[in-house]
């Protein structure tokens, strides 16, 4: 009975209903953090300041395919969709089936797909949607807690999945990932966003074009 009443409140209008809709993703995020703390990394979703700083270098006018690893409850997903072209696509990949179900049920946008899978399989996943390469790939995966060997494999597969000039955008709470990215990416820009709990390090690893193509 209580569940039915809660659903009615969520569908209703007014401040109470709006508050419930706002709290729903936080509640989902917290439940998954309790179940899988090592795979989520922080008990608090990313701040809006981090989202905007992380996405600032993206050229939305030329972006056809954006990929997100570990979207969680969509803290980055929704701002990405707001900025994307009408004919672009966002594919979000998560190993957590609960997050995938939540996002597919909560976001009604023909440009969006949440997929239950691993970032290691990014090339086969985007191929399922008719793409051979991505323009940008974003990750908040906690590389320092991934099983041994998985981080470097994700970096290699991400590099292979990006178009020349494409960028791997990574936000982390330590410098650990830089050593993971360096063997695959020769150009890595970094910055620190203080307006986040905790302050977050940002990495933009660009796949450089072959010399003949660059010329």
The label of the residue with tokens 């320092």 reads 144
Pull the structure tokens for residue 140.
Answer: 């908040």
Separation between Cα atoms, residue 210 and residue 215, nearest integer Å: 9
Separation between Cα atoms, residue 63 and residue 160, nearest integer Å: 17
Express each pLDDT in 33-72 by its tens digit: 444 444 444 556 889 999 999 999 999 999 999 999 999 9
Express each pLDDT in 72-125 by its tens digit: 999 999 999 999 999 999 999 999 999 999 999 999 999 999 999 999 999 999
Express each pLDDT in 153-176 by its tens digit: 999 999 999 999 999 999 999 999
């Amino acid at each position: 009975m209580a569940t039915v009443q809660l659903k009615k409140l969520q569908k209703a209008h007014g401040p109470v209903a709006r508050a419930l809709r706002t709290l729903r993703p936080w509640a989902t995020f917290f439940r998954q953090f309790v179940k899988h703390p090592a795979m989520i990394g922080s008990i608090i979703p990313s701040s809006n300041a981090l989202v905007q700083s992380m996405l600032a270098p993206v050229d939305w006018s030329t972006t056809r395919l954006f990929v997100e690893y570990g979207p969680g409850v969509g803290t980055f997903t929704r701002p990405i969709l707001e900025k994307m072209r009408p004919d672009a696509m966002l594919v979000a990949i998560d190993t957590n089936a609960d997050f995938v179900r939540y996002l597919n049920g909560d976001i009604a946008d023909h440009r969006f797909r949440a997929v239950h899978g691993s970032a290691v399989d990014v090339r086969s996943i985007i191929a399922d949607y008719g793409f051979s390469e991505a323009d940008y790939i974003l990750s908040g995966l906690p590389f320092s807690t991934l099983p041994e060997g998985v981080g470097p494999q994700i970096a290699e597969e991400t590099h292979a999945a990006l178009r020349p000039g494409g960028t791997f955008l990574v936000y982390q709470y330590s410098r650990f990932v830089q050593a993971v990215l360096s063997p695959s990416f020769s150009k890595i820009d970094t910055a620190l966003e203080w307006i986040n709990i905790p302050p977050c390090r940002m990495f933009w690893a660009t796949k450089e074009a072959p010399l003949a193509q660059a010329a």
